[in-house]
Structure 1
Amino acid sequence: MAKYILGIDVGTSGTKAMLITTSGEVIAQKKDNYSFSTPHSGWAEANAQDWLNAVSSLIRTLSSHVDDADIVAIGIDGLYGGSGIPVNQQGQAIGPALIWMDRRAVLEASKASELVDSSTLMAVTANQSDPYYGYTKLMWLKTHEPDLYNKTDKFLPPESFIISKFTGEVSINYSAAGNLGGIFDINKKQWSHELAKKLGLD
């Protein structure tokens, strides 16, 4: 009897999903579209509920083609979520994610360059200081949205948020952690408390 895998990609403007057999035969595929918000020039925010709704809908639709018991795995990946989704201690989203294309943290990127020299940042994180990276977006939130920053228990990448909603488990993959930039030590594969402290981040 055939067994199946659901592959799901949470993207910037839509989520794509594919149901395949464990031998690679495509059974069904579908995409759900949504939008993101640009409240100001250079800003780009996404609503976590849009991602959750799309993934939930696609799982329901594609899994209807086979018996649930025959689906042996679900793989979920996601866009680079920038700051990540701010969630409270109950795991509820309490604000938007400042996604990869958000460029508001220009001053924070400049400040980061003053707080941590570029050679150290490159040696520890393999990144530089730029508004693209999640850590500069977190610095922006701490300065401009202190209430939201202080109420946030965790900032979760898109796939981490979805996985937590489905399983109750909070996790992050190395790629998403590395994309946060200036606070993930790629050599030790753990958060750099030293860099976080220098950058004023919790």
Structure 2
Amino acid sequence: MTNDAAKYTLGVDVGTSSTKGVLVAKDGRILASATRAHEVDRPHTGWVEMDAHIWWDEFVSIANELTTAHPNAEITAVGVSGMGPCVLLADADDEPVRPAILYGVDTRSGAQIARMTDELGIDEITRVGGSTLTSQAGGAKIAWISDEEPDAWTDARRFFMPASWLARKLTSAYVLDHQSASQTSPLYDIENETWYDPWWQRYAGTIAQPRLTWAGDIAGEVTAAASALTGIPAGTPVITGTIDAWTEAVSVGAHEVGDLMLMYGTTMFLVATGAETLRTPSMWTTAGAFPGTRNLAGGLSTSGALTAWLKDLTGSDYPELLAEAEASGAGARGLLILPYFAGERTPIQDPDARGIVAGLTLEHGRGDLYRAALEATALGVRHNVETMRAAGADIRRIVAVGGGTQGQLWLQVISDVTGLVQEVPATTIGASYGAAFLAASAIAADGAAPAIADWNPITQTITPNPDLRSFYDTLFDRYVRLYEGTKDVAHELAAEQRGASHA
């Protein structure tokens, strides 16, 4: 008989810059982890895509590393997660017909968004799906492939996101979770929690509809073929999984009504959970990760991507930049950055927004720029939070998660700028840990499901400095006015960049 102490769940998340996997014990302890770094492709301005073969290859590599290094660890269930909403179309043999188009950072579908909005009507789109169409809308990206790449479209038969792609490769199940489906706007009916057939047939008619389940439901079992590749025993249950931001919320227990999750990563993501469907044109209304919940979500197009860009540009390392940014102080000695270096998602929904550095002088150094970049992401978070609350979101508790939470200065800057208290749990490894938790919950006997508060207790609380409240109120006003005052020029430059990228 197998000892319960040797039983683990495997959680794997495909992110924007890496794939991460963890082996987690029944009590939430992490036995081992593995990471595979990767990069996205940006073939044109506004395009962000990735070869989906990488997702499976990295899963296989991570699974083999962990199972080989820990041969006595019995994997009892597998959790999957991934960035999104992405659009991966595959043919009848599950071969991708083109690289996957990534989430809202990919802004290529502007013409399709305009056409679909005109054809369907903004009020009807919002009634059916909850949200207006933006660069985050998966359905518009499906329409882009239909319009722009007819050869690929002719072969397309199935639709995946990273988590559902892994579930397919592991189990042969063709499924998608409700949360991910609700971001395939306008193809999902949010109130009835089903595909909206009239619009699916109109814009994706040749593609078979994935069966809809919830993130923590079991999609199927590991096949013999997948077992031979991964080292995971055949017959092991695999959950359906969902988009990484929602799995991250699960990993820190920030998925109850009244919770707001802040995900610190390559981009910044915010998920507020409630019981009602809130609609506002500047945010994303989605189904929750679990039955009976709804989310109002938002995201910055750059956060960690912006600080990484500055690090590479200056040839520095993070400890140097953080020390200099701390010395720079609040306000970065008179600098203000708009963090729209890849356009912006919420709440301005402007793919043609561009990064702005205001107030720069010859006296400023790299530490000032780095401090201003941290403050820029914090100002973006504040803009989102204020928009959510204006739409009716009841935000009672804020939990921080993701790799960026390891940086104490960034956490403090966000609390100071927003005026929010943040709770930080013991484990901030993120979506892979949440996927492992969902897998453990899926196979638990009635009444024996683990509690995330036991797995991952809160260990740190970040409190805003009240002495900086007035200062950052003024800076936030300038932040909003700076965008309004520069957006026309930024749009002209964005148009020129698009022309240059195709020259």
> Is the pair's TM-score, using the shorter chain for normalization, greater than 0.5?
yes
**Match of residue 125 from structure 1:** 129
Q: Which amino acid aligns with 2:101?
A: L
Residue 192 (1) aligns with residue 196 (2):
yes
Cα deviation for residue 117 of structure 1 reads 1.6
SS in 2 for 1:107: helix
The answer to whether residue 47 in structure 2 is matched with residue 54 in structure 1 is no
Shift of 1:121: 1.2
2:8 aligned residue: 4
Equivalent-residue separation in structure 1 for 2:154 and 2:72 (angstroms)? 41
Q: Partners of 1:110 and 1:92 in 2: how far apart?
A: 30
Q: Distance in 2 between matches of 1:191 and 1:145?
A: 24
The residue number in structure 2 matching 1:15 is 19
List 4+ stretches of structure 1 deviating above 6 A: none
Which residue of the partner structure matches residue 137 of structure 1? 141
Give how far 1:69 is off.
Answer: 7.0
Deviation at 1:152, TM superposition (A): 0.4
User: Which position in structure 2 is the counterpart of 1:151?
Assistant: 155
Measure how far apart 1:31 and its partner are: 1.1
Q: Which runs of 5+ in 1 are unaligned?
A: none
- 91-100 or 63-72: bigger deviation: 63-72
Q: Is the 8 A contact 2:91 2:97 kept in 1?
A: yes
**8 Å Cα contact 2:67-2:73 kept in structure 1:** no
Question: What's the CA shift for 1:127?
Answer: 1.6
State the partner residue of 1:160.
164
Please give the TM-score of this superposition, normalised by the length of structure 1: 0.93
CA 1:17–1:69 in 2, change beyond 3 Å: closer, same or farther? closer
Q: How much does 1:118 deviate?
A: 1.6
State the Cα distance separating 1:20 from its structure 2 match.
Answer: 0.9
Give the equivalent residue in structure 2 for 1:116: 120
Give the CA deviation at 1:65.
3.6
Could you tell me the TM-score, scaled by structure 2's length? Answer: 0.39
- C-alpha deviation, 1:81, in angstroms: 4.0
- Secondary structure of the structure 1 residue equivalent to 2:204: coil
Secondary structure (helix, strand or coil) at the match of 1:172 reads: strand
After superposition, give the CA deviation of every residue in 1:147-179 in whole Å (9 maximum; x if it has no partner). Answer: 111210112111111111111111111111111
Q: Percent identity over the alignment?
A: 25
**Does the 8 A contact of 2:139 with 2:203 survive in 1?**
no
For residue 90 of structure 1, what is the amino acid of its counterpart?
Answer: D
Q: Is the 1:38–1:45 contact (alpha carbons within 8 Å) kept by the matching residues of 2?
A: yes
5+ residue gaps, structure 2, are: 206-503
Alignment of 1:30-109 (within 5 A): 30-67=34-71, 70-82=74-86, 84-100=87-103, 101-109=105-113
Which amino acid counterpart does residue 169 of structure 1 have in structure 2? A
Q: In the TM superposition, what is the alpha-carbon distance from 1:132 to its structure 2 partner?
A: 2.2
Please tell me whether Structure 1 or Structure 2 has the larger radius of gyration of its CA atoms.
2
Could you say which residue in structure 1 is the equivalent of 2:341? none
Query: Is the contact made by 1:116 and 1:195 (CA closer than 8 Å) also made in structure 2?
Result: no
